Chains A and B, each alone.
Chain A
Amino acid sequence: MQVLKQSERHRVRFTLNGERVEGLAEPRMLLTDFIRHEIGATGTHVGCEHGICGACTIRVNGKAVRACLMLAVQAEGKEIETVEGLAAKDGTLSALQAAFHRNFALQCGYCTPGFLMSLVDYLEKNPNPTEADIRIALSGNLCRCTGYAEIVNAALEAAREIQALSASK
């Protein structure tokens, strides 16, 4: 077993939104800083660095987690998804993103990537949520602009749309 020494930069490789990426990180480097400043995917934002605001929510191996509560070196070999991976390659917004757009579910947009990543994960596992479910599912993401009402509406609308889409397939 290898001990990665402090004050040295170690190679970290993982899959980011389906593409292999790599960079160098000291053991203590947070995954947020690595994704943003080493890889350059700045869509994931940093809001509190103690796991409460949810702005940095990403998916690691298909599960929504706080990127500020992970070390970059812990991402080695993982499959990571961030907000940049949500839209189609041609830029077409996903059903969830489009619902956010239609519903005025973002204002400054700083917390939005975290909400989107939480909801992508939640709706995948809970395709038919009630409003109360959505509110509890979102209780780990802080937004100070919208008052959440339109975010909750967007989430419910997206859930219905995703359901209808998968039913028609």
Chain B
Amino acid sequence: MLYKNMQSTDSEAGVAQRPRQNYVGQRVLRVENPPLLRGHGLFIDDMPVKAGTLHAAILRSPHAHAEILSIDVTDAISLPGVRAVVTGQDVAAMTDPLIVGFATPMRYHGIAVDRVRYVGEPVAIVCASDRYLAEDALDHIRVEYRPLPAVVDPIAAAASDAPILHPAVGSNVVSYREFRHGETDKAFAEAKRRSEIVITYPRNSITPIEGYAVVAEHLLDSGGYDVISNFQGPFSLHPVMARALRIPGNRLRHRSPPNSGGSFGSKLALFPYIVILCIASRLAGRPVKWIEDRLEHLAAASAAPNRVTRIEAAYDDDGIVSALRLKHWDDHGAYLRAPMPAPIYRMHGLSTNAYGIKHVDVFNHILVTNKCPTGAVRGFGGPQLYFAVERMMHTIAGELKLDPLELIRRNLIPAGSFPYRAPAGALIDSGDYQRLIDETVSGGGLDELRQRRDTARRQGKLYGIGFAVVVEPSQSNMGYISTLKTGIERERSGQKDGAVAAATVSMDPLGTVSVVADSVPQGQGHQTALAQIVADQLGVKIEDVVVNLEIDTQKDGWSIAAGNYSCRFAPAVASATHLAAVRLREKLARIAASSLNVPPDNVEFADRKVFARDNAENWLSLHRVAGQAHWSPASLPDGMAPALRESVTWSAPELTPTSARDEINTSLAYGFGFDFCGIEIARETGEIRIDKYVTSHDCGTILNPGLADGQIHGSFAAAIGASLYEEFSYGEDGSFLSGTFADYLVATAAEMPKLDILHPVQSPSPFTRLGAKGIAEGNQYSTPVCLANAVADALGRGDITVPLKPAKILEWISGDEAKSRSVAAKASPKGSSINGEGLAYVAGDPQTVWSALLNENGLRAAIPGCERLERVGENAFKATVTLGVGPVKGSFKADIGLSDLDEPRSAVLKGVLSGLLGTASGTGLLTLVPQNGGCRIDYRYEIHLSGQAAMVGGRMVNAAARRLINEFFLRFAASLGEVNRAGTSLPSWRARIKSLFGAQQ
């Protein structure tokens, strides 16, 4: 489908010069653009603040799991410019825990109180006169931690012997529910065929380029707080914040800035920061501003839950699937924070995707692990679910030697059966999946792509084609999260359903229009779309409409559903605004009707005029009608309220509460997407080249194709990231390893393949006022699994995980690695725990070496950069050391202990270091073997690094640690008089070390 920009007289406004304009459906240029293009946007950090506003910096945990033994802020508070240092104890004393959607003894305050549970968790807040000074003060807060074992894998976390994050909960599985829709067990028992696969879906986010930002001010006079932040909603979190702050809801005034630099779900999870910064402001007695930096965002903002799903399918020889069984382990990181675990429940009603499958059972384990807590990420539960379902369809096709697309077609919900009630409760409003697929196959060139695959394969290339279909939900039912409760619990806590949208359309006495609605956009073009809708209704030009979406919770209409998430805009906000505009139009028509001397039904609006339908010469200017409403209430028709302001709140009746059988219509409108792609894998490098990618969408009525396609392109790019590049990586010890944009890899223009977008079918939603459905998330669902299916097709392999890193793919396609005839294979160091072994030859018999090891002087001489070392107990020492590589150096406090002593044969040496660069804990087993009159020390070690250096130095930190270990033994050997392998003393250890480690000695 081709769209042309609407011609414009004014190049910026993009206004059509047509007598009866119809903006909706046109590629109207964005009204948001001009200030943004000129550098006049107003993002929070661009806005002025009150004089005296303090700047916050946040001290964050270097540990994945540790008890906080003490926090000493004395030095920090005494630094110049520092006004307050706030700890978790302060916050806990002044707030209640942030609640989630079900009763749980888990306590979450947004800041660690007595225990840290993930790397990056806030531990203290410094409020100072500028950000530089605030960060300086962080260096002077002394926190004593006692590290605890960490768990990062969801399956391991569910095991009975796993370290428990929240002792009060008693298990890392904080919620478990079983859902049975239909007769799944019976269907499986009767099925001719069954398949089962396990999929894992990684952690990612879409990391907006603008991070979180909050300015919070405690209002001493009212006891309330005035907050401006780029929080995106849902405003169901407003009462969560107000309750945590122990204030009435109306005393928490929250305002949104004019611009927000992207969110993609992320800016939902900034609400805990609002709470802790409110407290910081209260304690500091000044407004406090916090601008999250990139390192903070990557480590500690939010992520989509990673998930393990075991999916089973029951089907017959024709590939007709009768039942699915889904067992999910959904990993939410260290705390569940509202509205988590919403993603899994948002998709619950759609557990059978686009298929007419009758029976489905779903088993949801909601888990906590020592990772950053989760939040909303564009796609919100869909990528995880559809990865499992669509991989399964591909697997079944493979089992039956059927073309995957043929298998998909056989199972689709039949055309003509909409609205269709899926077994888990989704009421899929409209669609024609078969026709969309048919037209996409022909319009997108699938036959040609198949030929390309055949040719490529004949040439010996690894080429694959993948498919995916997805149902794309939009506008969430605010009741769906209650599905995680049992029916009895739901009854007890009260029914939840619906989703309110609010909009106000006003006309001033000059006939121009103002619109306020409860969306909090981050660039989606909502101002443009609402202006289109309203201008069409009122017959004004688009530049006559000003849309202000800066919600002020004290002044604007909003409800718990307000905000920008789960594709709420097109079904909900657009509907409410449309209704408000229609009501205003009806009122204007009634006012104008008497002057035009026609019935109100015959009044038309266009070109800033009102007309008699049958006589275009019979008209009034709109501003005249508007003026009458403002200037002369007495002249208005009987019973009509004066002035021109229509406020509408709207909720769709189809959003019913969870049924007694746990069926839930999670969303109001359901779009449909179908993707296919061709990929080639380079045998040499394992890299994937996307040869062709076609995505086809039915999102009902398209309000503005420029905006809609922008959402598709954007979602596709984020999905390419999730499929090929992006992952929040954690070590087994919970250390965080993707702390910079050089580690968390976002696709750039150079990586993006061409995308063919098709809209062959538009099935308007019967449940939304304009027939519009969401469009922003479809490719989050379809693209990762479509690419995975293509890789599976290329490789003939079942187990495909994303991101599809070349190193992983190369191992899939290569046999065993070539051995070397002359070079012994080294054990390659693995992952974040750094393992290694080595040996050192030392002059002196084992007894001498033993004594040196247990002696302050021996250790002092051996530890690189040791500045101070003292004995603090039997075989226990404290030291201060300066360690690093090249210019990257830091001072560390070290606790060193020797245990498992078997004199003079072996000992275990343990060290825990902590400093500004992070923490390291290491264990080494030392074995002393007499040799040639001297002694050989065999050592094996394992080190865990966490904190700043591990986060940002991923490429180098392991090598640096290994180097320092080896240096320890070299120095130890040297202090005793090192001997070479033949047993001759080396003249100068300094020369040796110098040659190895450079000129730093």
Q: Which residues of A contact B (CB under 8 A)?
A: 7, 26, 28-29, 36, 41-50, 52-53, 55, 82-84, 86-87, 91, 93, 97-98, 100-102, 104, 106-113, 116, 134-136, 138-152
Contact between B750 and A104 (Cβ–Cβ < 8 Å)? no
Which chain A positions have C-beta within 8 A of B713? 146-150
In the bound complex, how far is the Cα of B525 from the Cα of A147, in angstroms? Answer: 15
Of B38, B710, B712, which contacts A107 at CB under 8 A? B710
Which chain A positions have C-beta within 8 A of B132? 26, 28-29
Of A50, A102, A108, A136, which contacts B262 at CB under 8 A? A108
Chain B 517-529 interface 0/1 with A at a Cβ cutoff of 8 Å (1 = within):
0000011110000
In the bound complex, how far is the Cα of B40 from the Cα of A142, in angstroms? Answer: 20
Instruction: Kindly list the 7 A-B residue pairs having the minimum CB-CB distance in the complex, ordered from nearest.
Output: A43-B39, A108-B523, A110-B261, A109-B36, A147-B713, A147-B717, A107-B523
Given the known interface contacts A50-B294, A101-B34, the answer about A36 and B262 at a Cβ–Cβ threshold of 8 Å is no
Indicate whether B215 reaches chain A with its CB closer than 8 angstroms.
no
Contact between A49 and B293 (Cβ–Cβ < 8 Å)? yes
Contact between B210 and A36 (Cβ–Cβ < 8 Å)? no
Contact between B30 and A101 (Cβ–Cβ < 8 Å)? yes
Which chain A positions have C-beta within 8 A of B30? 101, 104, 106
Of the stretches B413-421, B741-749, B848-856, the one at the interface is B741-749
Which chain A positions have C-beta within 8 A of B294? 47-50, 53
Instruction: Give the nearest-CB partner of A48 in chain B.
Output: B294
User: Which residues 286-333 in B have Cβ within 8 Å of A in the complex?
Assistant: 293-294
Given the known interface contacts A45-B210, A144-B209, the answer about A101 and B39 at a Cβ–Cβ threshold of 8 Å is no
Contact between A53 and B209 (Cβ–Cβ < 8 Å)? yes
Which chain B positions have C-beta within 8 A of A107? 262, 523-525, 710, 714
State how many angstroms separate the Cβ of A81 from the closest Cβ of chain B.
Answer: 11
Count of B interface residues, CB-CB < 8 Å: 57
Interface centre among B37, B710, B712 (most CB of A within 10 A): B37
Contact between B209 and A47 (Cβ–Cβ < 8 Å)? yes
Given the known interface contacts A26-B132, A47-B294, A49-B293, the answer about A142 and B39 at a Cβ–Cβ threshold of 8 Å is no
Indicate whether B707 reaches chain A with its CB closer than 8 angstroms.
yes
In the bound complex, how far is the Cα of B706 from the Cα of A116, in angstroms? Answer: 20
State how many angstroms separate the Cβ of B778 from the closest Cβ of chain A.
Answer: 13
In the bound complex, how far is the Cα of B748 from the Cα of A91, in angstroms? Answer: 30
Contact between B264 and A152 (Cβ–Cβ < 8 Å)? no
In the bound complex, how far is the Cα of B163 from the Cα of A149, in angstroms? Answer: 47
Indicate whether B208 reaches chain A with its CB closer than 8 angstroms.
yes
Indicate whether B206 reaches chain A with its CB closer than 8 angstroms.
yes
Of A101, A106, A143, A149, which contacts B755 at CB under 8 A? A149
Instruction: Give the nearest-CB partner of B5 in chain A.
Output: A102
Contact between B522 and A108 (Cβ–Cβ < 8 Å)? yes
In the bound complex, how far is the Cα of B40 from the Cα of A43, in angstroms? Answer: 6
Which chain B positions have C-beta within 8 A of A45? 43, 209-210, 261
Contact between A139 and B293 (Cβ–Cβ < 8 Å)? no
Given contacts A50-B741, A84-B38, A108-B210, 18 further A-B contacts (CB under 8 A): A47-B209, A50-B742, A82-B39, A93-B11, A97-B38, A98-B11, A101-B34, A106-B36, A109-B32, A110-B209, A110-B259, A110-B262, A135-B752, A139-B749, A143-B717, A144-B262, A147-B755, A148-B752
Contact between A87 and B262 (Cβ–Cβ < 8 Å)? no
Given the known interface contacts A43-B40, A146-B714, A149-B755, the answer about A101 and B12 at a Cβ–Cβ threshold of 8 Å is yes
User: Which residues 758-783 in B have Cβ within 8 Å of A in the complex?
Assistant: none
Of B34, B37, B40, which contacts A116 at CB under 8 A? B37
Indicate whether B21 reaches chain A with its CB closer than 8 angstroms.
no
Indicate whether B874 reaches chain A with its CB closer than 8 angstroms.
no
State how many angstroms separate the Cβ of B27 from the closest Cβ of chain A.
Answer: 8
State how many angstroms separate the Cβ of A87 from the closest Cβ of chain B.
Answer: 5
Which chain A positions have C-beta within 8 A of B208? 108, 110, 144
Contact between A36 and B38 (Cβ–Cβ < 8 Å)? no
Which chain A positions have C-beta within 8 A of B172? none
Instruction: Give the nearest-CB partner of B291 in chain A.
Output: A46
Which chain A positions have C-beta within 8 A of B206? 144
**Interface class of chain B by DSSP:** loop
State how many angstroms separate the Cβ of B554 from the closest Cβ of chain A.
Answer: 26
In the bound complex, how far is the Cα of B45 from the Cα of A44, in angstroms? Answer: 11
Which chain A positions have C-beta within 8 A of B638? none
Instruction: Give the nearest-CB partner of B378 in chain A.
Output: A144
Indicate whether B207 reaches chain A with its CB closer than 8 angstroms.
yes
State how many angstroms separate the Cβ of A50 from the closest Cβ of chain B.
Answer: 6
Instruction: Give the nearest-CB partner of B39 in chain A.
Output: A43
State how many angstroms separate the Cβ of A110 from the closest Cβ of chain B.
Answer: 3
Given the known interface contacts A82-B39, A146-B714, A148-B717, the answer about A52 and B525 at a Cβ–Cβ threshold of 8 Å is no
In the bound complex, how far is the Cα of B409 from the Cα of A3, in angstroms? Answer: 74
Indicate whether B716 reaches chain A with its CB closer than 8 angstroms.
yes
**Interface class of chain A by DSSP:** loop
Which chain B positions have C-beta within 8 A of A43? 38-41
Interface centre among B36, B207, B716 (most CB of A within 10 A): B36
Of B37, B740, B751, which contacts A97 at CB under 8 A? B37
Given the known interface contacts A144-B207, A144-B718, the answer about A48 and B741 at a Cβ–Cβ threshold of 8 Å is yes
Contact between B210 and A142 (Cβ–Cβ < 8 Å)? no
Which chain B positions have C-beta within 8 A of A142? 209, 741, 746, 748
Instruction: Give the nearest-CB partner of A152 in chain B.
Output: B749
In the bound complex, how far is the Cα of B709 from the Cα of A42, in angstroms? Answer: 29
Which chain A positions have C-beta within 8 A of B12? 93, 101
State how many angstroms separate the Cβ of A158 from the closest Cβ of chain B.
Answer: 12
Which chain B positions have C-beta within 8 A of A146? 710, 713-714, 717
Given the known interface contacts A93-B12, A144-B746, A146-B713, the answer about A42 and B46 at a Cβ–Cβ threshold of 8 Å is yes
Of B41, B46, B715, which contacts A36 at CB under 8 A? B46
Contact between B39 and A83 (Cβ–Cβ < 8 Å)? yes
Interface centre among B33, B294, B717, B754 (most CB of A within 10 A): B33
In the bound complex, how far is the Cα of B207 from the Cα of A86, in angstroms? Answer: 28
Contact between A104 and B710 (Cβ–Cβ < 8 Å)? yes
Indicate whether B260 reaches chain A with its CB closer than 8 angstroms.
yes
Contact between A111 and B755 (Cβ–Cβ < 8 Å)? no
Which chain A positions have C-beta within 8 A of B706? 104
In the bound complex, how far is the Cα of B37 from the Cα of A83, in angstroms? Answer: 8
Which chain B positions have C-beta within 8 A of A44? 39
Which chain B positions have C-beta within 8 A of A144? 206-209, 262, 264, 714, 717-718, 746
Which chain B positions have C-beta within 8 A of A26? 132
Contact between B34 and A93 (Cβ–Cβ < 8 Å)? yes
Instruction: Give the nearest-CB partner of B746 in chain A.
Output: A142
Contact between B714 and A106 (Cβ–Cβ < 8 Å)? no
Contact between A150 and B710 (Cβ–Cβ < 8 Å)? yes
Of A101, A110, A141, which contacts B43 at CB under 8 A? A110
Which chain B positions have C-beta within 8 A of A135? 748-750, 752
In the bound complex, how far is the Cα of B12 from the Cα of A138, in angstroms? Answer: 25
11 CB contacts below 8 A, A to B, read A45-B43, A53-B294, A91-B38, A104-B707, A106-B33, A106-B36, A109-B41, A111-B209, A141-B748, A144-B206, A144-B714
In the bound complex, how far is the Cα of B746 from the Cα of A139, in angstroms? Answer: 10
Indicate whether B29 reaches chain A with its CB closer than 8 angstroms.
yes
In the bound complex, how far is the Cα of B48 from the Cα of A36, in angstroms? Answer: 11
In the bound complex, how far is the Cα of B133 from the Cα of A7, in angstroms? Answer: 10
Given the known interface contacts A46-B45, A148-B752, the answer about A109 and B259 at a Cβ–Cβ threshold of 8 Å is yes
In the bound complex, how far is the Cα of B707 from the Cα of A110, in angstroms? Answer: 17
User: Which residues 1-29 in B have Cβ within 8 Å of A in the complex?
Assistant: 5, 11-12, 29
In the bound complex, how far is the Cα of B39 from the Cα of A29, in angstroms? Answer: 22
Chain B 38-71 interface 0/1 with A at a Cβ cutoff of 8 Å (1 = within):
1111010110000000000000000000000000
Which chain A positions have C-beta within 8 A of B38? 43, 83-84, 86-87, 91, 93, 97
In the bound complex, how far is the Cα of B34 from the Cα of A106, in angstroms? Answer: 11
In the bound complex, how far is the Cα of B259 from the Cα of A136, in angstroms? Answer: 29
In the bound complex, how far is the Cα of B32 from the Cα of A46, in angstroms? Answer: 20
Which chain A positions have C-beta within 8 A of B751? 139
Given the known interface contacts A108-B522, A142-B741, A145-B262, the answer about A42 and B45 at a Cβ–Cβ threshold of 8 Å is yes
Instruction: Give the nearest-CB partner of B755 in chain A.
Output: A149
Which chain B positions have C-beta within 8 A of A53? 209, 294, 741
User: Which residues 670-721 in B have Cβ within 8 Å of A in the complex?
Assistant: 706-707, 709-710, 712-718
